[in-house]
């Protein structure tokens, strides 16, 4: 998995924009990709990857997060669409598509602080020191 060159706030903000586009009847991630700063080089494919990374982190952190947030409405099943599950988490955290970015950023920072303080781990992604060694073939 490549390293992120975007902040967690930018990733979550883009996912919130994509959710807003979906609520307006759009399919896919194109609407969100054109709704961000064009110099950010965000593509629909990248947004789809972010959705998977964020969902993995939320699923992994669910047991910890349930101590801080009411996650009872979230159903984690194979057949549940990713968007539905992520939306459930966002709603539990107080993140809404129409929320001002400064409020969303504060909510995200609180979420990350709570999780990291409780676990001494990152909520999203895998830190380099935790990655498996020897994944890449030796260079000759």
Which of 36, 21, 45, 37 minimizes the C-alpha distance to 98?
A: 21
Q: How far is CA 102 from the centre of its chain?
A: 17
Tell me if 50 sits within 8 A of 14, measured CB to CB. Answer: yes
- Give 45-90 pLDDT, tens digit per residue: 999 999 999 999 999 999 999 999 999 988 777 777 888 899 999 9
pLDDT at 139: 44
pLDDT at 58: 95
Q: What is the mean pLDDT of the chain?
A: 84
pLDDT at 112: 95
Which of 45, 124, 127, 40 minimizes the C-alpha distance to 89?
A: 124
C-alpha distances (whole Å) from 89 to each of 37, 55, 128 are 26, 9, 26
pLDDT tier, 2 (very low <50, low <70, confident <90, very high otherwise): very low
pLDDT at 4: 55
Q: What is the pTM of this model?
A: 0.82
pLDDT beyond 80 at 24: yes
pLDDT at 127: 67
């Amino acid at each position: 998995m490549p390293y992120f060159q975007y902040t967690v706030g930018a990733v979550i903000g883009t996912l919130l924009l994509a959710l807003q586009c979906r609520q307006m009847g759009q399919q896919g991630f194109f609407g969100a990709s054109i709704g961000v700063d064009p110099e950010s080089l965000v593509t629909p494919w990248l947004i789809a990857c972010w959705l998977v990374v964020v969902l993995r982190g939320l699923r992994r952190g669910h047991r910890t997060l349930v101590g801080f947030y009411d996650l009872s409405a979230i159903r984690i099943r194979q057949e549940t669409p990713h968007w539905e599950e992520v939306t459930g988490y966002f709603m539990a955290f107080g993140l809404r598509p129409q929320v001002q970015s400064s409020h969303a950023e504060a909510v995200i920072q609180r979420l990350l602080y709570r999780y990291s303080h409780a676990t001494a781990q990152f909520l999203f992604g895998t830190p380099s020191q935790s990655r498996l060694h020897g994944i890449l073939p030796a260079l000759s």
